[in-house]
């Protein structure tokens, strides 16, 4: 069935080329993206489902993770058939300290290959979950690495060739938290006041199982769902006290970008991004978070009165045909208890030094617009039927597309200036800083003023990033984190030598 799903989508893309040529595929791409937005309308519920909080396991002793079929209660009173790494959808939260050796015994109890990619972690090549390292059904693999990076909110998910989107959509993903002493010195809210929020949209059949059946139109825009879930709970609420909360927010959706904000005029105090704490707290009213990105925020609920309801919501935004046209509520916080708060939000957080662009020894530019004929790489349908490319190329497991040297600094530019789609570009194996954004939003966003591994390139935007490659040799992937784009070829390899 799964292979059939995939054949169906590549088949229809190929058919379009055979019968109508590239131009009509492009036109149908645009038209059907709009149709999709009309068909997939977010369903808002009563926010009476309790927010699921994943259990926490620490890396002090070996961790066992099993990918398998589970049931979960995504919709209140209904059983959903899902995949998970624990006993439900998603996974336990893994929490480790910098410097720790981590050993994860992973077992694949699915009926197909899978593997785990540690998104945001710098680990050896053979531990990174590149699609070439697969774990067969009924087999296991021991992931082992030493944590050598700053405190931050990372995550993990499968990365098998062509089927990452389906496995993530069906429930395989989890949060991986790193702590260190620099972070500990800030005494940030913890325990019940530190909440991970994995935001994902799901399509769900009447029988409760998750529906992942992309048509060629879904491959163009990415696969969307009507049910906006947090930690695997749709229409969820969470009871809170009058305190400052630390929310570690992950956009774990396949394709949906959220323009996150809080109701009641509350701000987000952004303290961290993908790669850890920012230098200083950034206060914003809303933040555009694309698939794969994380923000670490402090939300100040301390001056609210008991009985107040606060919604985490997504506001409408411009850019990308169908994306952003809707605004909706995601989950609800109920203030149920008055307590005193003594913590105050820090302004200075962590040491952060911008990488000087003068250190760069090379600039590489990648055309990612894809959907315009003419100019640059243009759109060129290969025999793979791939419709999303980077620099005119689609993914080849064994080809090395770029070679970089360890301990050198480079600038990479993702050029979506002729594009009409949103592309969250992600690099394995390195953390980068956003150097500039021209066109589109035109500026570096507040949550981008730190270490990143995923950056959103909106239509018309050209985004430059700068990074120093670690002394961690081997082949790593970089790709669009719209998982349907990734699975349809929008991924390349680079090698650190
Ligand atoms: Cu989270 Cu290669 O991706
Ligand atoms: Cu990654
Ligand atoms: Cu993309």
* CATH architecture label of 49-184: Sandwich (2.60)
DSSP string, 304-371: PPTT-EEEEEE----SSSSTTS--EEEEEEEEEE---------SB-S---PPPGGGEEEEEEEE---S
Residue 359 Rama label (left phi>0; alpha psi -120 to 50; beta): alpha
Residue 319: per-residue pLDDT: 79
- For residue 491, the ligand 1 atom closest to its alpha carbon is 2
Comparing CA positions, the residue from 394, 366, 397 lying closest to residue 380 is 394
pLDDT digits (tens, 9 = 90+) for 54-86: 999 998 899 999 999 999 999 999 999 999 999
- For residue 120, the ligand 1 atom closest to its alpha carbon is 1
Q: How confident is the model at residue 383 (pLDDT cuts 50, 70, 90)?
A: very low
Residue 490 Cα to ligand 3 middle (Å): 7
Residue 419: per-residue pLDDT: 92
Return the residue matching tokens 């609920």.
301
Tokens of 222: 């990415």
Ligand 1 atom 3: residue of nearest CA: 119
For the domain covering 357-496, report its CATH number. 2.60.40.420
Pocket flag, ligand 1, residue 429 (CB < 6 Å): no
What is the CATH topology of the domain spanning 191-337? Immunoglobulin-like (2.60.40)
CA distance 234 to 145: 35
Residue 207: per-residue pLDDT: 84
Comparing CA positions, the residue from 386, 168, 388, 195 lying closest to residue 291 is 168
Check for a shared fold between 49-184 and 357-496: yes
Residue 62: per-residue pLDDT: 96
Proportion of the chain above pLDDT 70, given as a percent? 89
The secondary structure of the chain in percent helix, strand, coil, rounded to multiples of 5, reads: 15, 40, 45
The 10 Å Cβ neighbour count of residue 62 is 12
**By the 8 A CB rule, do 480 and 486 touch?**
yes
pLDDT digits (tens, 9 = 90+) for 358-373: 999 999 999 999 764 4
Residues 6+ apart with CB under 8 A from 243: 189, 193, 301, 302, 339, 341, 343
Residue 399 Cα to ligand 3 middle (Å): 20
Comparing CA positions, the residue from 150, 159, 161 lying closest to residue 118 is 159
Residue 27 Cα to ligand 2 middle (Å): 32
- Considering only the C-alpha atoms of the chain, give the largest distance between any 2 of them, rounded to a whole number of Å: 68
Sign for the CA dihedral angle at 58, 237, 326, 170 comes to positive
| Segments making up each domain of the chain, as ranges | 3-36, 49-184, 191-337, 357-496
Comparing CA positions, the residue from 482, 384, 485 lying closest to residue 11 is 384
CB neighbour class for 142 (10 Å; exposed up to 12, middle 13-18, buried from 19): exposed
Residue 201 Cα to ligand 1 middle (Å): 18
Ligand 1 atom 1: residue of nearest CA: 119
Helix (H, G, I), strand (E, B) or coil at 273: strand
**By the 8 A CB rule, do 48 and 332 touch?**
no
Ligand nearest to the CA of 251: 1
């Amino acid at each position: 069935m799964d292979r059939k799903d995939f054949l169906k989508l590549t088949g229809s893309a190929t058919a379009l080329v055979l019968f109508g040529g590239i131009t009509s595929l492009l036109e149908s791409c645009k038209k059907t993206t709009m149709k999709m937005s009309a068909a997939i309308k977010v369903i808002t519920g009563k926010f009476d489902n309790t927010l699921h909080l994943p259990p926490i396991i620490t890396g002090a002793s070996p961790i066992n993770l099993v990918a398998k079929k589970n049931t979960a209660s995504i919709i209140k009173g209904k059983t959903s058939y899902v995949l998970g790494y624990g006993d439900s959808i998603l996974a336990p939260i893994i929490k480790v300290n910098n410097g720790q050796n981590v050993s994860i015994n992973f077992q694949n109890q699915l009926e197909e290959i899978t593997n785990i990619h540690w998104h945001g972690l710098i680990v050896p090549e053979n531990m990174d979950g590149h699609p070439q390292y697969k774990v067969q059904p009924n087999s296991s693999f021991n992931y082992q690495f030493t944590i050598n990076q700053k405190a931050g909110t990372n995550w993990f998910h499968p990365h098998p060739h062509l089927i990452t989107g389906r496995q993530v959509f069906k429930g395989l993903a989890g949060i991986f938290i790193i702590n260190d002493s620099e972070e500990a010195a800030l005494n940030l809210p913890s325990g019940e006041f530190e909440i991970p929020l994995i935001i994902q949209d799901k399509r769900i059949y009447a029988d409760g199982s998750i529906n992942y059946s992309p048509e060629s139109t879904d491959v163009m825009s990415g696969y969307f769902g009507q049910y906006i879930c947090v930690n695997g709970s749709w229409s969820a609420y969470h009871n809170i006290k009058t305190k400052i909360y630390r929310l570690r927010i992950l956009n774990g959706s396949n394709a949906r970008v959220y323009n996150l904000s809080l109701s009641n005029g509350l701000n987000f105090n952004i303290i961290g991004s993908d790669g850890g704490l920012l230098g200083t707290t950034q206060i914003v009213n809303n933040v555009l978070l694309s698939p794969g990105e994380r923000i670490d925020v402090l939300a100040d609920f301390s001056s609210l009165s008991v009985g107040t309801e606060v919604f985490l919501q997504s506001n409408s935004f411009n850019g990308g045909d169908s994306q952003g046209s809707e605004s909706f509520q995601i989950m609800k916080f109920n203030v149920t208890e008055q307590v005193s708060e003594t913590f105050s939000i820090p302004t200075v957080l962590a040491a952060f030094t911008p990488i000087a662009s003068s250190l760069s020894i090379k600039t590489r530019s990648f055309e990612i617009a894809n959907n315009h004929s003419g100019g640059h790489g243009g759109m060129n349908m290969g025999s793979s039927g791939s419709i999303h490319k980077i620099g005119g190329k689609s993914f080849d497991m064994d080809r090395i597309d770029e070679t970089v040297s360890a301990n050198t600094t480079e600038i990479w530019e993702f050029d979506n200036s002729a594009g009409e789609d949103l592309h969250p570009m992600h690099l394995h194996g390195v953390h980068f800083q956003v150097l500039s954004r021209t066109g589109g939003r035109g500026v570096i966003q507040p949550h981008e003023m730190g270490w990143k591994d995923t950056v959103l390139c909106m239509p018309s935007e050209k985004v430059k990033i700068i990074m120093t490659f670690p002394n961690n040799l081997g082949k790593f992937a970089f790709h669009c984190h719209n998982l349907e784009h990734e699975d349809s070829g929008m991924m390349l390899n680079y090698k650190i030598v």
